[in-house]
Structure 1
Amino acid sequence: MIEPVKIGVVGVGYLGSIHARIYARLPGAALIGVNDVDSDAGKQVSAECGCSFYSNVDQLADSIDAVSVVVPTTCHREVSLPFLSRGIPVLLEKPVAHTLSDARSIVNEAQQTGTILQIGHLERFNAGVTRLHQELDRPRFIEVHRLSEFVERATDVDVVTDLMIHDIDIVLSLVQSELKYVSAVGARIVTNHVDIANARLEFEDGAIANVTASRVSAKRFRRIRVFADACYLALNFEDQQIEISRPGEQPPDGGFAPIINSSIQVEPTPPLDAELAHFIDCVREGAQPLVSGSDGLRALKVAYDVREKIERSLHSLV
């Protein structure tokens, strides 16, 4: 019988508590304990999940094989480095860190110690996104919309690092070429940070991506459209249905081939369940995760470039 991976969760706020609940029922995982600066919240989650509450992170580290770090982004470096330095695999929620310097420190520590570091870019585990990768060859133009209604969560950061970074990561995974140029605009609507943003990413191979993110829209809308060589695909992130258009057979008279439209209903799988199961598999097998520390760092670099371009455009209006 294969021994389960002994897992811990540091930070059991809204998202961290979900990590804990999934691990508690995930085959191949044994949730050993949780840690949180709010001991009452930590004890409540530990009681719900049937595990121990650890007030001391070092004691938790002594008891586990791997850990999910789901703390505020400003604390990512402080919390994750001690685990990585001990060779304990880390699933670190996105973005990698609050600053590029902290992000580099985290990724470098994982590389130097040879420790697994997976970044929580959740949408990579959307079954529809997985199917997109299978269906696509050489994307030429990508358009993404990630629009949400306003909620009083994550208002301490802008919409680029809160929402758009998901789609930046997806675009970077789809286009196998170096990024050449970034332009971006945005606006502050409700909070003191940018609440709606649009970025244009241009790649060395000629591919272009137009990415829009909003957290102040009237209704939720999440969709990606990809134009590739002789192919068009559109994915609704939420119902995981893919629309496909491809040219049919060339007519005998030499005219344009008819466009054949079809659709694929991907079997819905909760992305967070898939993400955590993947992490457990990587720990057990010693494999590199689908979303590595380097992937997370690359997405963060682009997100910071987008933010800089937006701030520059806003200052020019003053």
Structure 2
Amino acid sequence: MLKIGLLGTGHLGKIHLKCIRLAKESYELIGFYDANPEIAASVAREYKLEAFDSPAELIAACDVVDIVTPTTTHYALVKQALLAGRHVFVEKPLTSTLEEARELVEICERTGLKVQVGHVERFNPALLALGDHQLRPFFIEAHRLATFNPRGTDVSVILDLMIHDLDIILKLANSEVAEVRASGVAVVSKTPDIVNARIEFVNGAVANLTASRFSMKNMRKIRLFQPDAYISIDLLDKETQFIRLFDVNDPSLDPESAQMTIETADGVKVIDIAQPDVNPVNAIQLELESLAASINEDSTPAVSIHDGYRALELAYLISEAVEENRDKIPV
């Protein structure tokens, strides 16, 4: 049983606290630290949990540190935990800057400790429903729209929302980035609130992403297009759909799926529409349990520190492209 301590008990920190307790076969929650004494006292009373006096004291008492604090604090806390010999779960984004992230990657590689980054959408049941299906997308389209919430506007929508999809798309494309183009607008805050980015990969795949935190409705959808299939992933409503083209007598056709025939230049084909089962999961609990499994099995975390670095690196490439494009627009 791994002893885990929680750093930060704000809105998301409290959710982590509850999820750690649900993951009782993986962890023993030994306590928490919060920089706000009033919040610390309130959480200690409500959850009957020990409030430690400093991050150092908490880190010394556990095997794993769960860091759910503002992004600006991630670098110092992750570094402190790693140098103390502790495994780490840290919320996304990994750090505020690429320089900080690079140093943490180096420390992680040197120590051999496990670091998992909280890109929780990797554990969304709609994405998990893809299972072992062979994916080789040529074109990826992602929309992540949210109604306005003042919480999170201290950073651009790229680091606030789009970074979720950047992590997923990097995983799906499975290729290095070749070129990035982007534009964005600050509507209600001092940083971009809506951004569109086009990412071209070395393998020829292209991704087009839009993220907005100033929308009339919420949407979190990813669409994949490849030679034999169109795949729709609704991360908000937890639905996944495969639409594939088959020869009429193809033995792999699923008789349980919806089908229709069409005339093509290559003769009659069958359009097969399948909706795989999407099993409800507690995504945060699942990502925390996956870190425990990687520690116990000495395997690579599901969302490694390298994954977190790549997503952050791409986010900064998009930010730079937004700035370059904005400079071209006459005021």
Do these two structures clear the TM 0.5 threshold for a shared fold by scoring above it? yes
Q: Give the fraction of aligned pairs with identical amino acids, expressed as a percent.
A: 37
Give the match's secondary structure for 1:132. Answer: coil
1-structure distance, mates of 2:226, 2:14: 40
Report the Cα offset of residue 132 of structure 1: 2.7
Whole-Å Cα distance in 1 between the matches of residues 31 and 8 of structure 2?
11
Query: Aligned partners of 1:71 and 1:161: how far apart in 2?
Result: 15
| Alignment-derived partner of residue 111 in structure 2 | 113
In the alignment, does 2:19 pair up with 1:7? no
Where in structure 2 are the equivalents of 1:196-275 lying within 5 Å?
196-250=194-248, 254-275=266-287
Q: Are the aligned partners of 1:8 and 1:32 in contact in 2 as well (CA < 8 Å)?
A: yes
Cα distance in 2 for residues equivalent to 1:217 and 1:93: 25
Which amino acid in 1 is paired with 2:83? Answer: S
* Alpha-carbon distance in structure 2 between the residues aligned to 1:51 and 1:286: 30
Residue ranges of structure 1 left out of the alignment (5+ in a row): none
Deviation at residue 18 of structure 1 after TM alignment: 1.1
Conserved in 1, the CA contact under 8 Å of 2:3 and 2:28?
yes
Matched AA of 2:296: R
CA distance in 2, matches of 1:52, 1:251: 65
- Cα distance change on mapping 1:211 and 1:98 into 2, 3 Å: same
Match of 2:260 in 1: none
Q: 1:311 corresponds to which residue?
A: 323
Partner of 1:175: 173
Report what 1:89 is aligned to.
Answer: 87
Question: 2:21 maps to what in 1?
Answer: 24
Contact 2:117 2:304 in 1 (8 A): yes
Aligned twin of 1:103: 101
Describe the SS at the equivalent of 2:275.
strand
Aligned length: 315
Could you tell me how far 1:110 is from its partner in structure 2? 1.0
Letter in 2 for 1:76: H
Partner of 2:256: none
What amino acid does structure 1 have at the position aligned with 2:162? M
Distance in 2 between residues matched to 1:124 and 1:287, nearest whole Å:
17
Q: Secondary structure of the residue that 2:267 maps to in structure 1?
A: coil
Q: Deviations over 1:140-163 (max 9, x none)?
A: 111010000001101100000000
Q: Residue 310 of structure 1: CA displacement?
A: 0.6
CA contact (8 A) 2:60 2:84 kept: no
CA contact (8 A) 1:91 1:119 kept: yes
SS in 2 for 1:210: strand
Q: For 2:162, which of 158, 161, 164 is the aligned residue?
A: 164
Asked if the contact 2:127–2:240 (Cα under 8 Å) also holds between the matched residues in 1, the reply is no
* Contact 2:247-2:268 within 8 A present in 1 as well: no
What is the distance in 2 between the residues matched to 1:180 and 1:259?
34
- Letter of the 1:89 partner, please give it: H
> What is the Cα deviation at residue 250 of structure 1?
4.3
Structure 1 residue identity aligned to 2:23: L
TM-score (norm 2): 0.91
**The one of 135, 138, 141 aligned to 1:137:** 135
Q: For 2:199 and 2:130, how far apart are their aligned partners in 1?
A: 19
Q: Secondary structure at the match of 2:117?
A: strand
Whether 2:294 is the aligned partner of 1:290: answer: no
Aligned with residue 67 of structure 1, among 60, 65, 68? 65
SS of equivalent to 1:261: strand
Tell me how far apart the structure 2 counterparts of residues 280 and 42 of structure 1 sit (CA, whole Å). Answer: 26
Q: Distance in 1 between matches of 2:314 and 2:21?
A: 35
The one-letter amino acid paired with 1:206 is G
Distance (whole Å) between structure 2 residues aligned to residue 288 and residue 248 of structure 1: 37
Stretch moving more, 175-184 or 262-271: 262-271
**Distance of 1:205 and 1:25 partners within structure 2:** 41
Match of 1:139, SS? coil
Deviations 1:175-232 (A, max 9, x none): 1221111111111111111000111111111111111100000010111110123011
TM-fit CA distance, 1:44: 2.0
Amino acid at match of 1:93: E
Aligned to 1:189: 187
TM-score between both structures, scaled by the size of structure 1: 0.95
